[in-house]
């Protein structure tokens, strides 16, 4: 005797992975009839394993269930409207939403921005920094498109947690890749750009050189505590003036900058600490110290020195923000 849809959805929460997988396969066979039963597993507070199988079910039956998901958004039941919205964005991105839902999200962003300060930025990651008043130059140098106003919480999640790259077929028929990045509000005269895939694939140091050609100056910083690695790179007018990379070859580029001289104690100094004499013999190795001295160090950002809002942007006109899949916090 075949199991009912209710029984199968309960098995999605089974501690046994084989049982969960079998339940997912059986629910796929039921198609749209199972949608309302699976949607509650997309609600917040569900276990990661259950949510994973619920999302997999929706992706496998995506074309067949879209009309039902849109119907739930418009007509209920009320307790399924929110998970239906999450399902639509997870399956196809914002472009799968109707105009009413898109406008609602935009209104919510504007409301959240009114009370978003202070903001916080991740420190153990990688980022570009450039003068805030050269935003247009940086956007042009990096070839960014579809700048969209977002909260900092949304931007950080989109560029450092969620999937921030997308393969697609261009209008010319070629296989292409687009990246999504977050440009932060202004902090003491600087803006940051976060985007793990973008910075990793195109090279943060190369991008800093490129931005500095048009913006005058740009920095790249990377802090990787897992690999005990530090990197900082200062570019001006298209050329590196100073850089350090823990595992770089060479490890150092350029001459020490003025702020480094404060740490470079001579061995003949009777008051010198042997540890610091060795650590800073050639210059400052710590990216956070360099960022603090030369631009601004990410982390909890002081409200009095924070201005404006941030943007999400992509690297292709054919892959706007609305095509990137996944739910983001606002």
Residue 115: pLDDT band (50, 70, 90) is very high
Measured from the Cβ of residue 133, the count of other Cβ atoms closer than 10 Å reads 13
Between 56 and 222, the more confident residue is 222
- Determine the average pLDDT of the residues in 26-41: 88
| pLDDT at residue 11 greater than cutoff 90 | no
- Determine the average pLDDT of the residues in 280-304: 94
Burial of 175 by CB count in 10 Å (0-12 exposed, 13-18 middle, 19+ buried)? exposed
Task: Give the tens place of pLDDT for each residue, 12-30.
Answer: 888 888 888 888 888 888 8
- Determine the average pLDDT of the residues in 35-59: 84
What's the pLDDT score for residue 278? Answer: 74
User: Over the chain, what is the mean pLDDT?
Assistant: 91
What's the pLDDT score for residue 3? Answer: 80
Task: Give the tens place of pLDDT for each residue, 130-170.
Answer: 999 999 999 999 999 999 999 999 999 999 998 899 999 88
Domain assignments of the chain as residue spans, ordered by start: 5-92, 126-323
CATH class of the domain comprising 5-92: mainly alpha
What's the pLDDT score for residue 9? Answer: 84
Residue 120: pLDDT band (50, 70, 90) is very high
What's the pLDDT score for residue 1? Answer: 46
- Check if the beta carbon of residue 307 is closer than 8 Å to that of residue 186: yes
Task: Give the tens place of pLDDT for each residue, 226-275.
Answer: 889 999 999 999 999 999 999 999 999 999 999 998 888 665 565 666 67
What's the pLDDT score for residue 63? Answer: 80
- Check if the beta carbon of residue 306 is closer than 8 Å to that of residue 185: yes
| pLDDT at residue 322 greater than cutoff 60 | yes
Instruction: Please report the DSSP string for 238-255 in residue order.
Output: TEEEEEEETT-SSSEEEP
The per-type count for the chain, helices as H runs and strands as E runs, is: 14, 12
pLDDT > 90: percent of the chain: 63
CA–CA distance, 135 with 130 (Å, rounded to integer)? 8
Report the candidate in 76, 80, 74 with the shortest Cα–Cα distance to residue 100.
Answer: 74
CA–CA distance, 35 with 13 (Å, rounded to integer)? 16
Task: Give the tens place of pLDDT for each residue, 48-102.
Answer: 888 888 888 888 888 888 899 999 999 889 999 999 999 999 888 899 999 999 9
What's the pLDDT score for residue 4? Answer: 86
Q: What is the pTM of this model?
A: 0.89
Report the candidate in 120, 262, 305, 295 with the shortest Cα–Cα distance to residue 190.
Answer: 295
| pLDDT at residue 203 greater than cutoff 80 | yes
């Amino acid at each position: 005797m075949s199991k009912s849809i209710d029984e199968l959805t309960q098995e999605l929460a089974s501690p046994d992975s084989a049982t969960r997988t079998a339940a997912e396969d059986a629910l796929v066979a039921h198609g749209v009839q199972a949608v309302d039963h699976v949607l509650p597993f997309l609600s917040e507070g569900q276990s990661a394993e259950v949510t994973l199988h619920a999302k997999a079910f929706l992706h496998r039956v995506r074309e067949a269930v879209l009309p039902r998901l849109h119907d739930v958004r418009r007509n209920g039941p009320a307790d399924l409207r929110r998970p239906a919205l999450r399902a639509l964005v997870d399956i196809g991105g914002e472009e799968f939403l109707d105009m009413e839902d898109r406008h609602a999200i935009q209104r919510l962003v504007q409301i959240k921005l009114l009370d978003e300060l202070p903001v916080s930025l991740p420190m153990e990651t990688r980022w570009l920094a450039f003068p805030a008043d050269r935003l247009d130059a940086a956007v042009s140098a990096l070839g960014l498109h579809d700048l969209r106003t977002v909260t900092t919480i949304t931007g950080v999640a989109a560029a450092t947690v969620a999937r921030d790259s997308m393969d697609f077929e261009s209008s010319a028929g070629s296989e292409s890749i687009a990246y999504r990045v977050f440009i932060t509000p202004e902090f003491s005269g600087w803006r940051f750009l976060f985007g793990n895939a973008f910075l990793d694939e195109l090279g943060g140091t190369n991008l800093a050189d490129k931005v500095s050609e048009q913006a005058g100056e740009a920095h790249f910083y990377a802090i990787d505590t897992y690999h005990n690695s530090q990197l900082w790179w200062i570019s001006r007018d298209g050329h590196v003036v100073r850089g350090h990379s823990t595992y770089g070859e060479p490890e150092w580029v350029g001459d020490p900058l003025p702020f480094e001289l404060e740490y470079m104690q001579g061995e003949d100094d009777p008051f010198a600490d042997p540890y610091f004499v060795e650590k800073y013999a050639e210059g400052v190795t710590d990216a956070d110290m360099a960022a603090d001295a030369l631009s601004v160090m990410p982390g909890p950002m002081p409200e009095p020195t924070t201005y404006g809002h941030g943007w999400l942007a992509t690297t292709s006109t054919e892959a706007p923000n609305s095509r990137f899949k996944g739910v983001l916090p606002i």
